[in-house]
């Protein structure tokens, strides 16, 4: 199985993070993960069931490469979680404020 | 002279704003404007002198259409300013937090 690469916390880039969140579907994925506080299977993300599989995979990849989510293969599933602590360490308050704005929409 | 359209404060879209800020050059333009608190000529934005004219125009357009900046033609110049109050009204704390993260980079 191929390795899923994740940037280190100290390498997270602000424009990269904002770009990754600058899409309605990716914002929804992050919004659902933020409400959970635990890992869930990719297949349990609502957005996945509304778009072609390749589109879903692309959005997860963009979020993972920006450092917003962690994806861990477990058997035939991939568990996904929001990297809240890493994001908070690199850019304090950023994710929280964006999620508050997301709730206001 | 063609009219430069600006979205109303209540129509500002979170993913659109984040997408517009998800680019290093556009972040720098917004960072320079945030430090000023007044309108300046497009030609006084540093980024403009580092990229082809068409690239600069594109970045201003993306920022304007996302509602981040206001552009007002004045004679042969275009004055540009950050829409701080409109952004604060629609998404309280968002721009401020992103600018704090920008300073930490």
- Angle among Cα A46, A50, A51 to the nearest 5 degrees reads 120
Higher pLDDT, A63 or B2: A63
Q: Which of residues 70-99 of A touch B (CB under 8 A)?
A: 90-94, 97-98
CB-closest option in B19, B94, B104 to A19 = B19
> What pLDDT is attached to residue A3?
77
Chain B CB contacts of A94 below 8 Å: 97-98, 101
In the block, residue with structure tokens 């477990």: A74
A16/B19 Cβ within 8 A: no
B49 exposed, middle or buried (CB, 10 Å; 0-12, 13-18, 19+)? exposed
Local mean pLDDT, 10-residue blocks, chain A (105 residues): 85 97 97 92 94 95 98 94 96 97 91
At B63-101, the pLDDT tens digits run 999 999 999 999 999 999 999 999 999 999 999 999 999
Name the DSSP letter for residue A45. Answer: S
Chain B CB contacts of A13 below 8 Å: 105
> What pLDDT is attached to residue B104?
86
CA gap A98, B15 in Å, rounded: 10
Is the predicted ipTM greater than 0.90, yes or no? yes
> What pLDDT is attached to residue A1?
54
Chain A CB contacts of B15 below 8 Å: 21-24, 26-27
CB-closest option in B16, B91, B101 to A14 = B101
At B19-43, the pLDDT tens digits run 999 999 999 999 999 999 789 999 9
> What pLDDT is attached to residue B1?
54
């Amino acid at each position: 199985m191929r390795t899923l690469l994740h940037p280190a916390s100290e390498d997270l880039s602000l424009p990269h993070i904002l770009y990754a969140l600058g899409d309605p579907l990716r914002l929804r994925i992050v919004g659902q993960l933020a409400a959970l506080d635990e890992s869930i299977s990719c297949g349990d993300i609502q957005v996945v069931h509304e778009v072609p599989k390749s589109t879903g995979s692309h959005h997860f990849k963009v979020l993972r490469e920006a450092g917003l989510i962690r994806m861990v293969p477990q058997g035939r599933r991939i568990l996904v979680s929001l990297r809240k602590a890493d994001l908070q360490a690199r850019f304090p308050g950023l994710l929280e404020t964006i999620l508050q704005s997301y709730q206001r929409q």
